[in-house]
């Protein structure tokens, strides 16, 4: 049995989900399963959530080894990962992203779904690079980007597969703040605690109303999206 990829620590009303697969924190079947289980427990506890990677690595997105196995394997992984992303996007309690480093493709989507997103300053790469590796950006990714990025930056971020550093990602709408690497986690936890002190019912209802149109469109187009999905080509 492999070591766990997700370690959970609790501090007051905040559950911190630390991703670390020892590599690039890819969204593999194991990572997706463990994140889902951690969210189950956080929701049961009524906690706000901080999602963090390890130093220098947030997430490299969907596991390319699985994606390249077959078209069906790619579809299965993207569908399960998409469900995780949508759950995080609609999670009833606050979700704060502590982007600890590189966040590409599905990793950039993990950044986008946060209610508040703070990244470590440094020479890190954040962005949706699908088109540059020969993979059309799924509707799921397009619509999450449309929701969160500035309208002026949306074509460059999606169609042109532009990659940002933390400061330019902040301007583009990927992030709400940056922090020194040694202050990142404490900053994220403080923001999660602040948001967690807001009315639970009002927060959950407002988030649902704010995002349900996007999520419903993604679900309505998911089968068509998956039928057109192709693994990366380069």
Q: State residue 68's pLDDT score.
A: 87
What is the residue extent of each domain of the chain? 6-196
SS3 77: helix
Mean pLDDT of 20-40: 97
Residue 219, pLDDT > 80, answer yes
Q: 78 with 62: CB under 8 angstroms?
A: yes
Q: Of the given ranges (69-73, 80-84, 112-116, 151-155), which has the lowest mean pLDDT?
A: 69-73
pLDDT in tens, 164-217: 999 999 999 999 999 999 999 999 999 999 999 999 999 999 999 999 999 999
Q: Of the given ranges (60-69, 104-113, 196-205), which has the lowest mean pLDDT?
A: 60-69
CATH class of the domain at 6-196: alpha beta
Q: How far apart are CA 213 and CA 63, in angstroms?
A: 28
Measured CA angle at 41 (ends 207, 113), to 5 deg: 35
Q: How far apart are CA 115 and CA 192, in angstroms?
A: 9
Q: Is the pTM of this model over 0.85?
A: yes
């Amino acid at each position: 049995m492999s070591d766990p990829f997700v370690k959970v620590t609790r501090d007051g009303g905040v559950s911190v989900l630390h991703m670390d697969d020892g590599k690039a924190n890819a969204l593999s079947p194991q990572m997706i399963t463990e994140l889902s289980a951690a969210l189950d427990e956080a929701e049961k506890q009524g906690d706000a959530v901080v999602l963090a990677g390890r130093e220098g690595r947030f997430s490299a997105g969907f596991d390319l080894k699985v994606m390249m196995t077959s078209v069906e394997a790619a579809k299965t992984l993207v569908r399960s990962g998409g469900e995780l992303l949508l759950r995080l996007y609609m999670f009833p309690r606050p979700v704060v992203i502590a982007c600890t480093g590189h966040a590409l493709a599905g990793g950039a989507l993990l950044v986008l779904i946060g209610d508040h997103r703070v990244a470590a300053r440094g020479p890190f790469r954040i962005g949706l690079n699908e088109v540059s590796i020969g993979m059309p950006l799924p509707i799921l990714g397009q619509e999450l980007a449309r929701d969160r990025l500035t309208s002026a930056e949306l074509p460059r971020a999606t169609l042109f597969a532009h990659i940002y550093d933390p400061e330019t990602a902040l301007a583009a709408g990927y992030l709400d703040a940056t922090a020194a690497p040694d202050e990142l986690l404490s900053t994220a936890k403080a923001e999660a605690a602040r948001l967690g002190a807001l009315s639970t019912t009002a927060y959950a209802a407002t988030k649902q109303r704010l995002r349900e149109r996007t999520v419903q469109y993604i679900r309505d187009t998911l089968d068509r999206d998956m039928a057109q999905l192709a693994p990366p080509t380069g």
